[in-house]
Amino acid sequence: MCGIVGYVGKKKALPIVLNGLKFLEYRGYDSAGVAYLLDNKVNITKEVGRISSLEKLIDLDTPSYMAIGHTRWATHGEPSVSNSHPHQVGRFTVVHNGIIENYLEIKEDLKKKGVKFLSTTDTEVIPALLDYYYKEEKDILKTIKKVLEKLEGSFALGIICDDDKENIYAVRRGSPLIIALSNDGMFIASDVPAILNYTNKYILLEKDEIAKINNNSYQVFDFNLKDIKKEINTFEGSCDDAMLNGYPHYMLKEIHEEEKVFLDTFNYYVNNDSFKETMPDFKKYKNIHIVACGSAYYVGCIAKSLLEEYAMIPTCVEVASEYRYKKNFYNQDTLVIVISQSGETADSLEALRKAKKDGIDTLAIVNVVLSSIAREAKYTLYVKAGPEIAVATTKAFLAQTTLMALLTVKLSRKYELLKEFKGLERKIKELLSKDYLEYAKAIYKCNDTFFIGRLIDYALCLEGSLKLKETSYINSVAFQAGELKHGTISLITKGTPVIGICTNKDIVSKTISNLKEVKARGAYIIYITNEECHDDFYDQLILLPKAHNLVMPILSVIPLQLISYEVAKLRNCDIDKPRNLAKSVTVE
Ligand code: M6R
């Protein structure tokens, strides 16, 4: 959470930093701020709300050539001007992404030494410590090293010091941070899209590395302040991938990219009905643990059904924030699969690290290239979703589901199943071209909704329910269809929307019975199925195209995503940036 951008160079810094922050708003958007050098003085402007609110307070023509900026997702202290970054104490001004776990003891200690604090954040102790130790060390790099020794937690920092009018300093421990290089200047940023308007050359900082950038050069130091050589990466995508391109919202744009995302992911791993070398052989593993958070966890639930059904591999799915603290029964036959769009989700990353530490092999299923999870896993398989900006994941979910279905085929050795993916893009397109407004109209005024389904359809219910809650703020519960009558059915009253999903003809009559039970109690039923249905228990029907059960979830998720989008729109919600959320959850 939180996004950092910094620039020092030949161009005016404020437009560059603000533009970069807009691309990082997905990381947090409750307040924002910039610090910039003007007439040899560091000036700070901060505001509650979006970057657009901050922009109104800033003259973009300001002749400043060095600036750092921040977009915040509050962890310690409410969103307010005083809690917004940058934070300044004495000579040091800092922007921070992450959490300082021992900030209370540091704060108490510094207070005793006479330091005054203006915010309730954990961050403010960082400039305070820097300023305090700088008086002893009188050298910025040595001071940063000393402060790193004191800090506990996960963080990325951008730092400027009144005594150095040429350089921006940056540090990474845990939270992601890159430096980017152009002929007109150097950048720091939490993520690549922030700099793509200016350059595609960047360097990833690793744990406890310190960078120093000025208008035409950079240096990276290790923890012992030894100058180190770093590999320069080139980002292959284009800035356009992260633009709205005429769509009213990123969520809608990203859903409409699903046909391409499916094909790109499929074609990356398969050619002429055979797997390419991009798909390794995992035959030695006898059981699988899938670990993830949120929607990625629900992809894991889908994958468990597929892996057990077709590959006969016992699979357990665990929420990463639990997995990292519980006793796990794994051994050399276990493959731990971590699914993550961003590749930076703190709990998923720590779960991966725990498995690695225990000597267990790990596989990352990730969208963001060179993200931490992608780099730290033993094996990495990328999904080809491209940049996903909307906080609610859609195309990455579809791409992850596609890849897990492909992995199932690989592990099952039933390669003839690959033909079931053929032509699926046309069915995706067919679903994307339908209008979902009438379904949304049946839902948008209600306070509660239910999603029910059995087996793999239950996993889709979980995702449909999360999507609706997240984007439209309607309370929603997903239930195994047969389980409702054991208590939860008491919540069904006249008009309660129940979305029933059934894509498996072997159990269709069972799910229909459960839908009739709620219909008898007044529920308004939206029935999603791929089987012709001549019964009249439902109020609205979504007929999915026919497809093999292995690939059905790739299709059934699309109406769920588009209904959520339409409901959120009818409710005038902030679709791409729902309240209280951030796209990349880099704190515990
Ligand atoms: O980047 P990740 O896939 O690791 O993110 C996991 C969850 O935070 C994410 O899927 C979240 O639940 C989405 N906002 C749901 O739309």
Decide whether any atom of ligand 1 lies within 6 Å of the 259 Cβ: no
435-575 matches 245-422 in CATH topology = yes
Q: Sheet containing 361-366: give its strands across.
A: 315-319, 287-292, 334-340, 361-366, 379-382
Which pLDDT belongs to residue 445?
96
Distance CA 549, CA 558 (A): 16
Ligand 1 atom with least separation from CA of 341: 3
CA 341–ligand 1 middle distance (angstroms): 7
What is the CATH T-level fold of the domain 435-575, as seen in this structure? Rossmann fold (3.40.50)
Decide whether any atom of ligand 1 lies within 6 Å of the 342 Cβ: yes
Q: Give the closest residue (by CA) to ligand 1 atom 16.
A: 392
CATH of 245-422, one of 3.60.20.10, 3.40.50.2300, 3.40.50.300, 3.40.50.10490: 3.40.50.10490
Total Cβ atoms within 10 A of residue 3: 32
Instruction: Give the start-to-end residue ranges of the domains of the chain.
Output: 3-241, 245-422, 435-575
Q: Is-contact 106 129, C-beta < 8 A? A: yes
State the closest ligand 1 atom to the C-alpha of 342, by its place in the atom list counted from 1: 1
CATH superfamily of the 3-241 domain: Aminohydrolase, N-terminal nucleophile (Ntn) domain (3.60.20.10)
With a 6 Å cutoff on the Cβ, whether 42 touches ligand 1 is no
Reported as a single tens digit per residue, the pLDDT across 6-52 is 999 999 999 999 999 999 988 888 999 999 999 999 999 999 999 99
Determine the distance separating the centroid of ligand 1 and the alpha carbon of 290, expressed in angstroms: 15
Active site residue ranges:
2, 583
How far does residue 337's CA lie from ligand 1's centre (Å)? 16
Cα(64)–Cα(43) distance, rounded to whole angstroms? 10
| pLDDT at position 209 | 97
Per-residue pLDDT tens over the stretch 104-142? 999 999 999 999 999 999 999 999 999 999 999 999 999
Going from the Cα of 96 to the center of ligand 1, the distance in angstroms, rounded, reads 22
pLDDT tens sequence across 497-526 = 999 999 998 999 999 999 999 999 999 999
Q: List, for residues 374-398, the tens digit of each pLDDT value.
A: 999 999 999 999 999 999 999 999 9
Would you say the CB of residue 383 lies under 6 angstroms from ligand 1? no
DSSP label of 341: S
Closest residue to atom 8 of ligand 1, CA basis: 294
In this structure, are strands 66-72 and 227-228 parallel, antiparallel, or unpaired?
unpaired
Please report, for residues 14, 311, 381, the alpha-carbon distance to residue 576 in angstroms, rounded to integers and kept in the order given: 25, 37, 27
Residue 533 Cα to ligand 1 midpoint, Å, equals 34
**Probe target for ligand 1 pocket from 73, 191, 293, with the most ligand atoms within 8 Å of CB:** 293
